[in-house]
């Protein structure tokens, strides 16, 4: 186990200065007076343009640096190893590879970590205490970022005890966040990658990937009353029989209203991204206590 347990252990015009025309030595001087305001206005315009160009360039440098930083972090985050079992035979707990105490010092909104083998999904999960849209444009450290973060909304508990938990992440050209979830569109990949993991403070939750498909863009948690077991069961049946041209479903899977599922939600990445979402769904199959 590495000393840094906050990560799982398997993962820039200056335009040329215009030369003001000099007054004609043999002239009357009237033309010079008429030209001076025009020259001054031209100089002011050039200064404004230069400042705007510098400011725009600085912003682009900063934005690119943020994207590069996130990509570097994703590329260097190691993948988790199987946690070591407790030496005490009577203690069923195993070691948690995530140091949540240190993570909470960085950002108290961090409450979980998600890892999906075969993808680049290996990130902390956050939930803002008041603003459901905050992490659309802020990273895991709470800093402004186009990449956003992996997050849930207030409709979900942070212990994953709800019948349906929806986790959101962007689909980005640089391949970070939830972009590589689209690998599940490939049937061979779907068939050979069954498990995903959610780490919390005190638990390692293992989920079996049971379905991956396109869905409409409705807000799932606001559209269904998941406190009603009948509604839950009906929704589960729709998960296993999605109305989608892009779908993979695990054969032989059954769900009951007592099951707990997570749905990873991202953009489709095509012309339908405004009206459709891509969902990867997993059902909880193991809850391993940790120390």
Q: Kindly list the catalytic residues.
A: 170, 267
Q: Which residues of 141-154 are buried (b: 16+ CB within 10 A; e: fewer)?
A: ebeebebbbbbbbe
Terminal C-alpha separation, the chain: 14
Within 10 Å of residue 186's Cβ, how many Cβ atoms?
13
Residue 154, classed as helix, strand or coil, is coil
Cα 247-251-256 angle, rounded to 5 deg: 95
Token output for 259? 């099951």
CB 199 within 8 A of CB 255: no
Helix (H, G, I), strand (E, B) or coil at 249: strand
Structure tokens at 149: 């973060």
CA 32 and chain centroid, separation: 61
Cα diameter, the chain: 106
Strands (E), 35-88: none
């Amino acid at each position: 186990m590495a000393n840094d347990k906050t990560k799982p252990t398997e993962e820039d015009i200056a335009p040329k200065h215009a030369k003001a025309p000099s007054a004609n030595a043999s002239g009357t001087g009237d033309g010079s007076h008429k030209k001076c305001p025009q020259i001054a206005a031209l100089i002011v315009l050039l200064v404004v343009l230069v400042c705007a160009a510098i400011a725009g360039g600085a912003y682009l440098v900063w934005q690119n640096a943020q994207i590069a930083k996130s990509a570097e972090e994703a590329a260097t985050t190691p993948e988790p190893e199987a946690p070591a079992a407790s030496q005490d035979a009577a203690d069923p707990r195993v070691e948690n590879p995530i140091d949540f105490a240190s993570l909470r010092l960085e950002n108290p909104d961090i409450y979980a970590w998600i890892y999906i083998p075969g993808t680049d999904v290996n990130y902390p999960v956050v939930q803002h205490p008041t603003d459901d849209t905050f992490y659309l444009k802020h990273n895991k450290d709470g800093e402004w970022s186009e990449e956003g973060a992996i997050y849930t909304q207030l409709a979900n508990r942070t212990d994953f005890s709800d019948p349906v938990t929806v986790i959101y992440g962007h689909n980005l050209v640089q391949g970070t966040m939830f972009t590589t979830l689209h690998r599940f569109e490939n049937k061979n990949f779907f068939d050979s990658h069954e498990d995903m993991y959610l780490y919390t403070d005190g638990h390692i939750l293992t989920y079996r990937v049971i379905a991956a498909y396109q869905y409409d863009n409705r807000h799932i948690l606001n559209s269904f009353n998941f406190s009603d077991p009948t509604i839950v069961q009906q929704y589960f049946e729709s998960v296993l029989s999605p109305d989608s041209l892009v779908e993979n479903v695990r054969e032989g899977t059954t769900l009951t209203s007592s099951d707990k599922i997570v749905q990873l939600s991202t953009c489709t990445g095509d012309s339908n991204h405004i009206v459709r979402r891509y969902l990867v769904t997993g059902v909880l199959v193991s809850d391993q206590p940790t120390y």
